[in-house]
Amino acid sequence: MKSIAVIGLGQFGHQVAISLTQKGFDVIALDSDIELVTEIKDLVHQAIALDTTDEKAMWAMNIDSVDKAIVAIGSNVQSSLLSTALLKRMEIRDIYVRAITPLQESILKSMGIRNIINIEQEMGVQVSNLISSDRIGRYIEISNRHSLLEITVPSMFRGKSIKDANLRENHKINIVGIKTPVPIIDDDGQVEYRFDMTDIPDPDYCFKKEDLLVISGTDEHLDAFLKLGE
């Protein structure tokens, strides 16, 4: 079982710590704010009220033994950088750090931090993609030129099988999964829909109008594919 230290329990750090716990990691949640630590203590493996810039305190809690560390501190850039420097001194191999300013990102790069999280920038890209096309659902940037997104089926493929559409060969697109709507009737007789995901779809499956495709590829190929439905 891998252990991960999450430093900074604001909204972002809190959610990261809980999500990683749900994925089966042993999460050690750290913050100097006792109220934030108390709030999360029953939801993670361990929660500690600690000044993560205090070297003696960090060594005393054996933070050097974790497999990975995430510095999720937001507005306090100084605390974030000092905590990161201390993690580097403790020789923790995988360190992920949230950056909120270009200067902070530049400093982190000069410190040798490769895993820099810029959630404001990433969310900006996601929002712009959501707004620019009403056919796009969720959007995830995988690299600086690869993405994964969820879209409605282009009309030209509705009724065609996955095998006949041959998106990989013809459009350089990979189908990660297909979401199909399933009607659910509540106690009041109202119909709602949930989407069931098929992650290894049958090649003979025929696309339906109401399906959502989860696809991946380079941004160039995804953009070309999206234009097919315009």
* pTM tops 0.75, yes or no: no
pLDDT digit string, tens, across residues 17-56:
988 888 888 999 999 999 999 999 999 999 999 999 999 9
pLDDT given for residue 51 in this prediction: 95
Domain spans of the chain, in order of start? 3-117, 122-227
pLDDT digit string, tens, across residues 107-166:
999 999 988 887 765 655 554 554 444 555 666 667 767 888 888 888 888 899 999 999
Domain covering 3-117 in this structure, CATH number: 3.40.50.720
| Band of pLDDT at residue 195, cut at 50, 70 and 90 | confident
In angstroms, rounded to a whole number, what is the distance separating the alpha carbons of residues 7 and 13? 7
Residues 1/27, Cβ–Cβ less than 8 Å: no
Same fold, 3-117 and 122-227: no
- Average pLDDT over the chain reads 84
In angstroms, rounded to a whole number, what is the distance separating the alpha carbons of residues 72 and 54? 17
Q: Which fold has domain 122-227?
A: Alpha-Beta Plaits (3.30.70)
pLDDT given for residue 131 in this prediction: 42
